[in-house]
Chains A and B, each alone.
Chain A
Amino acid sequence: GAVVSQHPSWVICKSGTSVKIECRSLDFQATTMFWYRQFPKQSLMLMATSNEGSKATYEQGVEKDKFLINHASLTLSTLTVTSAHPEDSSFYICSAMRVAADNEQFFGPGTRLTVL
């Protein structure tokens, strides 16, 4: 159990376009999901915390108007990279927190975004 999926697994787009990434918890409900970004040879950096039914909380330095997050249901959160530029090329990973004694986060497989 505790499977998290992401779609698409990879995407290539032209500069200036918008890209939507979906994160789904397949077999549990997740009131909280997290979005991370990882550049090559670097660690995961938390971008934002997504709570079902409310606005996302963004980490310092992350532009909320550029990275739109919607958590419309207990199993789905989406991240939209608006007007993507080459510097947005990265590995985007979501995680979903299962509400339990340990509040463990389960990670999706990640989405590789390449902006040309």
Chain B
Amino acid sequence: QKEVEQNSGPLSVPEGAIASLNCTYSDRGSQSFFWYRQYSGKSPELIMFIYSNGDKEDGRFTAQLNKASQYVSLLIRDSQPSDSATYLCAVNNDYKLSFGAGTTVTVRA
């Protein structure tokens, strides 16, 4: 069983719509959770992180964490063509990050 699983996509949404990304993890002891965006040929860039159950909002992005269900999600509101990228979910255990395979998002203009 993979440690971190994501819907592989691709996920295609029209401009201005909400993109919803999901991630599940296997280790209940995981402490913190990160969403990264990666453009083709580039390294990941941090979008946001979350530690506590519930929602965390940062601009057009909202991360949701449910530790009981071992589930993390990312919502992208008012999607823009520049949001087209691969989104990586990462889980922190003892300072090590385990990454999911990523979900490729395409925002149609």
A interface residues, Cβ below 8 angstroms from B: 32, 34, 42-46, 49, 91, 93, 95, 97, 102-110, 112
If A43-B88, A49-B96 touch, does A104 touch B49 (CB 8 Å cutoff)? yes
Contact partners of A46 in chain B: CB under 8 A: 96-98
Do B45 and A43 have beta carbons less than 8 Å apart?
Answer: no
Q: Which of A44, A46, A107 has the most CB of B within 10 A?
A: A44
Give the secondary structure class of A's interface.
strand
A28 to B97, CA, bound (A): 20
Select one of A32, A42, A107 contacting B45, CB under 8 A.
Answer: A107
Give the secondary structure class of B's interface.
strand
Which of B11-19, B72-80, B99-107 makes up part of the contact surface? B99-107
Contact size range, B: 10 to 19
B70 at interface by CB-CB < 8 Å: no
A56 to B42, CA, bound (A): 25
B32 at interface by CB-CB < 8 Å: yes
Do B46 and A44 have beta carbons less than 8 Å apart?
Answer: no
Do A110 and B43 have beta carbons less than 8 Å apart?
Answer: yes
If A102-B32, A110-B43 touch, does A43 touch B99 (CB 8 Å cutoff)? yes
Which 5 residue pairs are nearest across A and B when measured between Cβ atoms?
A110-B43, A43-B99, A107-B43, A44-B99, A43-B101
Do B101 and A42 have beta carbons less than 8 Å apart?
Answer: yes
A49 to B41, CA, bound (A): 23
Do B95 and A97 have beta carbons less than 8 Å apart?
Answer: yes
> Nearest residue in B to A110 (C-beta to C-beta)?
B43
